[in-house]
Amino acid sequence: MVDMILVVGEIVSRIRTFLSHGIFAVVAVYAVVTLAFVVIALTPDPGEAALAHSLVRQGRGDQLEAKLRAYRAARNLDVPVTTRYARWLVDITVLDWGRSFATGRSVLSMVREGLAYTLSYVVPGVVVGTAGGIWAGLSTARDSASNAGRGLSVLSYAAFGVPSFWLAAVFFVTVAPKLSWFPDRLPTTGPFSPEVLLFLAPAAVIVAVNVFAGQLRYARTKGSEYFQSDFVRQHRAVGVSRRKVMWYVLRVAAVPLLAVSLADLIAILVVNVFVVEYVFNVPGVGFLTYQAVLDRDMPVVLGMTMVVALAGIGANFLQEVANTLLDPRIGDGGGAP
């Protein structure tokens, strides 16, 4: 009976922890997109200046006032900002993200299409970079004095220090022209077609290189700490194979690795997505956001900001959940008596 009460109490404590993390994540998402709304709504719109400049150059300055009123009405700029904010809060809550001012398309459909292109190269890049980085980091921690360990360390510093845009530019200038089978532009066959995946393969490699360098650094640091611990010495003393020892170290280091590497991973991805999609001219989340900012297309900017915020805060939420599941001492009460 006492055991059952303890189990129920533990389950209730876990549920309470997950709910508190979930509520915090939702509030954080709204806070981030509210900040984006404020920045755009309360700063001067360069589109009005461009419209006035164009009319004056065409000798139609007498139409300026009427054109500006029409421009503001089309973008709801003639409505008080508080009213716009209240409407916007309701709309995004019911998943009505509006239509693009520039293209007239539904923002949700643009987000879906952009995400498809972005995920088609980010997912393979992250999987390969993370797995390779952790394996290489633990290997260098285990054999830090070997030539292979030194070589991997040098490789990680080089990969971490080389900018993504430089790698992309070098590929297009020196490598792509020599590959007759490589498309010279993004095919129009859809985000997951073989032709598009082939075109995005170099982008996936660039993402993988950056993720690999970051994961290797963290895995090596944590691995060096655990490879010197007593439990590793005991396993080695009884003849446990090196591969199994690495697996045991990875299991122990999983929680601290997850904690330190996730935030870094999100930062790497955000930067890479914007740079890679601009250089490769890929209509993914980064490129659409960049274009929307240039066009002052507020519905698209807020929609893309929502996606980035959901990705970052959602990943942190999953990290908290994973930490709680992997290490019961983490969470409400922290296992304190």
Q: Which domain holds residue 25?
A: 1-94
Both 120 and 89 in one domain: the answer is no
Both 152 and 6 in one domain: the answer is no
On whether residue 100 sits in a domain, the answer given is: no
DSSP lists the bridge partners of residue 106 as: 99
Of 119, 113, 87, 112, nearest to 298 (Cα)?
87
Both 15 and 148 in one domain: the answer is no
pLDDT for the residue numbered 2: 65
Helices 2-41, 81-93: axis angle to 10 degrees equals 140
Rounded Cα distance, 261 and 204, in Å: 19
The parts of the chain modelled with pLDDT lower than 50 are 333-337
End-to-end CA distance of the chain: 20
Both 112 and 242 in one domain: the answer is yes
Output the average pLDDT for the chain: 80
Is the pTM of the predicted complex or chain greater than 0.75? Answer: no
Q: Which of 63, 94, 125 is the endpoint of a domain?
A: 94
Query: Tell me: the pLDDT tens digits for 151-209?
Result: 777 777 777 777 778 888 888 888 888 888 888 788 877 777 888 888 889 889 988 88
Number of domains in the chain: 2
On whether residue 81 sits in a domain, the answer given is: yes
pLDDT for the residue numbered 337: 38
Q: Which of 94, 115, 131 is the endpoint of a domain?
A: 94
CATH number of 116's domain: 1.10.3720.10
On whether residue 11 sits in a domain, the answer given is: yes
pLDDT for the residue numbered 335: 41
pLDDT for the residue numbered 326: 65
The owner of tokens 């904010």 is: 85
pLDDT for the residue numbered 333: 46
Rounded Cα distance, 245 and 236, in Å: 8
Rounded Cα distance, 34 and 229, in Å: 47
The CA-based dihedral angle spanning residues 136, 141, 146, 150, taken in that order and rounded to the nearest 10 degrees: 60
On whether residue 209 sits in a domain, the answer given is: yes
